[in-house]
């Protein structure tokens, strides 16, 4: 097992992590921005006003992107396990 191979596996793991986290983070970011603009325009400074919409959007993002996220992590794990015989030799 070469250092380049270990670096490649780490790089793939970081990429998969980014892909899995992106739908949830981007949706929460967009809703947070919209709620923040609404709060600034109306001068309402209520913490629950930003928390509840983000929570609902995160649930929707997981519902819609969940199967895709599961497929991504399953494919990565399958590839990693298929590479085990090459690591031993």
What's the pLDDT tens digit per position in 11-60?
999 999 999 999 999 999 999 999 999 988 988 888 788 889 999 999 99
pLDDT of residue 89: 65
Q: Is residue 62 part of a domain?
A: yes
Which of these ranges, 9-18, 45-54, 60-69, 70-79, has the smallest mean pLDDT? 45-54
Q: Is residue 29 part of a domain?
A: yes
Residues of the domain holding 29: 15-84
27 neighbors 58 (Cβ within 8 angstroms): yes
Please give the tally of structural domains in the chain. 1
79 neighbors 16 (Cβ within 8 angstroms): no
> Nearest to residue 34, comparing CAs of 56, 65, 59, 62?
56
DSSP assignment, residue 80? H
């Amino acid at each position: 097992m070469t250092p380049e191979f270990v670096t490649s596996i780490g790089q793939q793991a970081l990429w998969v992590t980014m892909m899995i986290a992106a739908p949830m983070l981007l949706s929460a970011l967009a809703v947070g921005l919209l709620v923040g603009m609404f709060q600034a325009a109306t001068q309402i400074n209520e913490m629950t006003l930003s928390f509840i919409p983000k929570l609902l959007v995160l649930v929707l993002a997981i519902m819609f992107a969940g199967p895709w996220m599961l497929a991504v992590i399953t494919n990565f794990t399958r590839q990693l396990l298929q590479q085990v015989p090459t690591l031993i030799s």
